[in-house]
Structure 1
Amino acid sequence: MKISSLFRLLPLLLLLNTGCKTQRLFEPAAHSSRGDWTELMSTSPYQLRPDDKVSVSVWDHEELSVGSIYGIYNSNEVYGKWLLVDAEGSLLLPKTGKLKVGGMTIAAATDAVVREYSRLIPQPVVTLKVLNREVTVLGEVKSPGPITLEKERNSLIEVLGRAGGPDYYANAGQVQLLRMKGQQRIEYVVDLTKLSTVEQESLWVQAGDIVYLPPQKRKSLQKESASLVPFAAILSSLAVVLTVISK
């Protein structure tokens, strides 16, 4: 085997090495479209929907409460202290029975519970919480995963901060946000590096959104460079051996 034959193998080795490329997390799909990121600067109140997990807290009335924030035990989805909005959009309240809340905002549903319990007690103080409102944050953040939305309005910057903030290779110029509108998937791309602080703090996420902070290109390049090292070492060793043999 001649040294020249060794170098004929180089394209094949490189092809094997680069056969697996880093894929974009959100590939374009037939049911998806690109949205204008400025749409994120407006938000609408959350509306209750089937399968929502809701806690009902009535001040000084544990018998009417489920997962009360006023009690000695914390309201927590993990411990099952919640009511489920059924397929018809109704809650099964203690003592009063079914109450239609599907499609209502949290404020409107709270008012409906107050009216319902006013038949039993004078001037009830009620707090309603939806426990399963989440945004999923993926990519180059320190703590990727689901983020529970405790407030009515939550900014993109706040959610990224709760995910631990951008990691070393994060590309803040290409932040992706996926949102479902009916059966349509909308993708927004935001360049946080070109926005003012006021603009950054005025981008609002909604329950069900997926936020992806992609890596910079240099991360892929560094990974590919590192993966070439073993091949380079093999080629060097073969070159030395063939040089010795050919003498």
Structure 2
Amino acid sequence: MKIKTLIPAFSLLLLMSCKTTTNNITYFQDLDNLAANSGDSINYAPKIVPDDELSISVSGVDPNAVAVFNMPLSSYLTPGETSVNITPALHTYLVDSQGNIDFPVLGKISVGGMTRSELTDLITKKLTTYVKDPIVTIQIRNFKVSVLGEVTKPGTVSVPNERLSVLDAIGMAGDLTIYGNRKNVLLIRDNGGKKEYHRFDLTSIESLNSPYYYLQQNDVLYVEPNKARKGNAKYSQSQQFNISLASTVISAISVLASLAIALLVK
């Protein structure tokens, strides 16, 4: 009778353990509690900062009139090569430490702190003095973020557009590993030379409403290890192998014991 009583109790403990593990790895567990209109939309447009590389092209009805405002295409030698075999590329404008660029004819333009659309409007307005109906196209060429820690593919990812969320970056890094602490994902941002820090709890839907949810260029996301990973880090590789082997043996003995108990109960 005691054995029959212990089996359900053991099963209950096992189910509770599984539930606890699931709660640690499931994203947005309170999704059902999200209101239909959960807040205002977040402006994700990144601000132009020093050391950004901008490609700026100008087009118009008269190609000759806009030619002076476009940097020439150039080809570069690859280190170690003796011939140019690279497709010509458009020069980029490097934003200096004061947030300025030097633009043909227009001279020095202060661009720091502006969004791409704001700078587009500014240059378009300045060009109307020289060109009829100019069309200005601007792109931030070095938009990248780094995702480090407990993700499948840690490293730096390049962003082809301006809209990159925390989930986008994590997805590009191959998602968090089973050892990633989903309740404590750290964002590090450089804002005018000052560091900003923000932490996301990816098990809560509130992280989607954070003003930091959309990333800026050069942001760093760090996924810290959970308690299981920190515990494993205390042991050497050989010790981890021994522990893993011991765990396998214990599991096998447990299965055999369960079978023996089941046969005895019958």
> TM class by shorter-chain length?
0.5 to 0.7
Distance 1:181 1:58, change over 3 A: closer
Residue 189 of structure 1 aligns to a residue whose secondary structure is strand
Aligned to 1:142: 152
Deviation at 1:162, TM superposition (A): 1.4
TM-score (norm 1): 0.60
Alignment-derived partner of residue 93 in structure 1: 103
Q: 1:199-218 to 2 correspondence within 5 Å?
A: 203-218=213-228
After superposition, residues 149-188 of structure 1 pair within 5 angstroms as 149-182=159-192, 184-188=194-198
Unaligned runs of 5+ in 1: 1-40, 69-78, 233-247
Q: Does the 8 Å contact 1:56/1:67 carry over to 2?
A: no
In the alignment, the residues of structure 2 paired with residue 230 and residue 163 of structure 1 have an alpha-carbon distance, to the nearest angstrom, of: 28
**Structure 2 counterpart of 1:49:** 49
Distance 2:45 2:236 in 1: 48
What is the identity, as a one-letter code, of the residue corresponding to 1:58?
V
- Greater alpha carbon shift after TM alignment, 193-202 vs 97-106: 193-202
**Aligned partners of 2:48, 2:182: CA distance in 1, in Å?**
33
Q: Deviations over 1:181-214 (max 9, x none)?
A: 4565333222212337965998222223210112
1:163: Cα distance to partner? 1.7
Contact kept, 8 Å, 1:138 with 1:213, in 2: the verdict is yes
Query: What amino acid does structure 2 have at the position aligned with 1:57?
Result: S
Q: Letter of the aligned partner of 2:55 in structure 1? A: S
After superposition, the Cα gap between the structure-2 partners of 1:160 and 1:66, relative to the gap in structure 1 and judged at 3 Å, is: farther
Q: Counterparts of 1:139 and 1:179 in 2: how far apart (Å)?
A: 16
Deviation at 1:52, TM superposition (A): 1.9
Partner Cα separation in structure 2 for residue 125 and residue 221 of structure 1: 58
* TM-fit CA distance, 1:126: 0.8
Write the letter of the residue equivalent to 2:161. K
- Deviations along 1:124-145, one digit per CA (max 9) or x if unpaired, are 1111112223221101222222
Question: 2:239 matched to 1:228?
Answer: yes
Q: Does 1:64 align with 2:75?
A: no
- 1:122 corresponds to: 132
Between Structure 1 and Structure 2, how many residues are aligned?
A: 183
| Aligned-partner SS, 2:187 | strand
Of 217, 226, 229, the residue aligned with 1:219 is 229
Q: Which one-letter code corresponds to 2:227 in the other structure?
A: K
Secondary structure in structure 1 of the residue aligned to 2:181: coil
Corresponding residue for 1:27?
Answer: none
Q: Which AA in structure 2 matches 1:112?
A: L
Partner of 2:4: none
Do 2:144 and 2:156's aligned partners in 1 also have CA atoms closer than 8 Å? yes
Question: What RMSD, in angstroms, separates the aligned Cα atoms of the two structures?
Answer: 3.5
Letter in 2 for 1:152: E
2 CA distance for matches of 1:91 and 1:181? 19
SS at match of 2:197: strand
Cα offset, 1:111, TM superposition: 1.2
Deviation track 1:16-66 (CA, whole Å, cap 9, x = no partner) reads xxxxxxxxxxxxxxxxxxxxxxxxx95564332332211002236555334
User: In 1, distance between residues paired with 2:101 and 2:208?
Assistant: 39
| CA shift digits 1:44-103 (9 cap, x unpaired) | 6433233221100223655533489xxxxxxxxxx6720112344322223433223233
The structure-2 alpha-carbon separation of the partners of 1:187 and 1:54, relative to structure 1 and needing over 3 Å to count, comes to same
Query: In structure 1, the residue corresponding to 2:239 is in which secondary structure?
Result: helix
- Which 5+ residue runs of structure 2 have no aligned equivalent? 1-40, 61-65, 74-88, 244-266
Counterpart in the other structure of 1:84: 94
* Contact 1:157–1:201 (8 Å) recurs in 2: no
Q: Secondary structure at the match of 2:183?
A: coil
Q: Deviations over 1:3-24 (max 9, x none)?
A: xxxxxxxxxxxxxxxxxxxxxx
Q: 1:201 to 1:154 in 2, by over 3 A?
A: farther
